[in-house]
Structure 1
Amino acid sequence: MDEESWSLSPDTRKPLPELIEEKLRQLIESGRFRSGDRLPTEPELAQKLAVARSSLRTALQRLQLQGIVEVVRGRGWYVRSTDVSDRDDALVLDGRIDDSDLMEVRIALEATAASLAAMRADEGELDEIEKRARDHQTASIEDKDELLRSDEEFHTAVVKASHNELLEQLYRSLVPKLRPYRRNSYGSPEVHVRSANDHLQVAWFLKRHDEGGARTAMTTHLLGLYNDLAAQSGTPASKRAELNTYVMEEEPRWHER
């Protein structure tokens, strides 16, 4: 394949990971890579595209969320599906839905995913989730793309370990809508530390197959992001949902303040 076919779009209005994602979509759609094919290694892809590996990983992670590619431990990235239609829009969302509403749905989805993963994940999947939590913990605070990539890889691993295909599809549809906010949320070391510690706590409960603990830990983690988002958007405190996580409750319950 000639070098020109690997050239990225010159559209400087888009973030680099998005341009890389578009190029990889084009290569798959053109038949250059077919379902089941192994992609070149990350160093090879980065060299062909003339990009940093951190940006490449972010693009691959975005495609993974859409079910187009998948990573096989110790073997690399593979094409999972050649259907490269815009899967971010698989769930048609009303344009009036705000990020706080999306976060409330995301909390419900991922709390369920964590509970199911505690029951269904095998040891390899649990090790992978813990590794993703460590990767996020050690990601550079100066590299927002790396923080976002490692964050999404952790959450994707938990959702995948739920072994619920519909839940995974819903997750893929919702998460990209929140990506700009999530990337910009890493504005201070404190946010990163809190996020990393929360991930490790979720992984701890999962390793012990504690359904209730995993569900509550994931909910508490996402509730922190939800409250930050609601505050930034100016949502009055009286209109925000608050989560009751007292141990006397059988499960977290939403109620209005």
Structure 2
Amino acid sequence: MDDESWALSPNARKPLPELIEDKIRALITNGTFRAGDRLPTEPELAQKMAVARSSLRTALQRLQLQGVVEVMRGRGWYVRSTDVAERDEPLRFDRRVSDSDLLEVRIALETTAASLAALRASQGELDDIAKLAKLHQAASVNDKDELLRTDEDFHAAVVRASHNELLDQLYRSLVPQLRSYRRNSYSSAEVHVRSANDHNQVSWFLRRRDEAGARAAMTTHLLGLYNDLAAQTGMPVEERAGLTNYALEDEPSWQQNR
């Protein structure tokens, strides 16, 4: 490919990561890259597009969350799907949806995904999830971007391992809308330690094909985020939803805290 084919479209109204995303989409749409193809390395892509690697990585992460590309640890970025048109836009809402509403839906989606992943994930997927948990644990507490990236990579891998395409699409539509809150939630080393331990616990149950255990571990993890958000926003206790696992029930039950 000549250098001009990598040139970004000039559009002062769009942030640089979105311009990079548009270019990669165009290269997939015109057949330059097909499903299963490996993309050039991040340094190569950054050089070809004359952009910083941080902007490039943001664009790749956006495409990853939309299911267009995927990263294989130690191997690089690959095109996951050439069906880019249907994955362009996230779900749109008629009015502003609160972060607590989004988190409640995320809890429903991801706990289901965790239980399905325990049953359906391949051994390779389970190995990748375990590696992603370790990468999140090893991320620097002072680098919020890295903490967010490794956190999103882990959760996205669990959802993909559910092998439910609709669930995956719904999940990807929620993630960008929670990104700002999630990044700011890493306010201390203790928060990171809790998050890393929770990820390891989810991975532990998944590797043992324990459906109920994986669901409960994911429930505990996401409920921690929900309670942190409720406390930060000053939500009255009587308005908060809670999750509880009853001894004789298989599913977590919503309850109104009083």
Same fold (TM over 0.5): yes
Whether contact under 8 Å (1:54, 1:145) holds in the other structure is no
Partner-residue secondary structure (3-state), 1:89:
coil
Distance 1:192 1:12 in 2: 35
Of 85-94 and 161-170, deviating more is: 85-94
Whether contact under 8 Å (1:36, 1:79) holds in the other structure is yes
> Which residue number corresponds to residue 5 of structure 1?
6
Once the two structures are superposed, the pairs formed by residues 1-257 of structure 1 within 5 Å of their partners are 1-2=2-3, 5-6=6-7, 14=15, 17-18=17-18, 20-29=20-29, 31-50=31-50, 53=53, 56-72=56-72, 75-85=75-85, 87=87, 89-257=89-257
Are the structure 2 counterparts of residues 148 and 6 from structure 1 closer, same or farther at C-alpha, using a change threshold of 3 Å?
Answer: farther
Distance 2:95 2:104 in 1: 16
Q: How much has 1:174 moved relative to structure 2? A: 1.3
Give the count of matched residue pairs: 256
1:14-65 CA-partner distances (Å, limit 9, x unpaired): 4x65554344334434554344432102232233345555554443222111
Distance 2:116 2:215 in 1: 9
1:82-135 CA-partner distances (Å, limit 9, x unpaired): 344483634332323211111101001000000011111121111100000000
TM-score by length of 2: 0.87
Amino acid at match of 1:21: E
Amino acid at match of 1:218: M
- Segments of structure 2 that go 5 or more residues without pairing to the other structure are none
Distance 2:116 2:197 in 1: 21
Identity of aligned residues (%): 71
TM-score by length of 1: 0.87
Distance 1:112 1:212 in 2: 10
Are the structure 2 counterparts of residues 23 and 184 from structure 1 closer, same or farther at C-alpha, using a change threshold of 3 Å?
Answer: farther
Distance 1:11 1:236 in 2: 43
Are the structure 2 counterparts of residues 12 and 230 from structure 1 closer, same or farther at C-alpha, using a change threshold of 3 Å?
Answer: farther
Whether contact under 8 Å (1:202, 1:218) holds in the other structure is yes
Distance 2:92 2:13 in 1: 28
Of 16-25 and 198-207, deviating more is: 16-25
Partner-residue secondary structure (3-state), 1:142:
coil
Distance 2:18 2:175 in 1: 15
Amino acid at match of 2:64: Q
Are the structure 2 counterparts of residues 196 and 73 from structure 1 closer, same or farther at C-alpha, using a change threshold of 3 Å?
Answer: closer
- Segments of structure 1 that go 5 or more residues without pairing to the other structure are none
Partner-residue secondary structure (3-state), 2:175:
helix
Are the structure 2 counterparts of residues 67 and 246 from structure 1 closer, same or farther at C-alpha, using a change threshold of 3 Å?
Answer: same
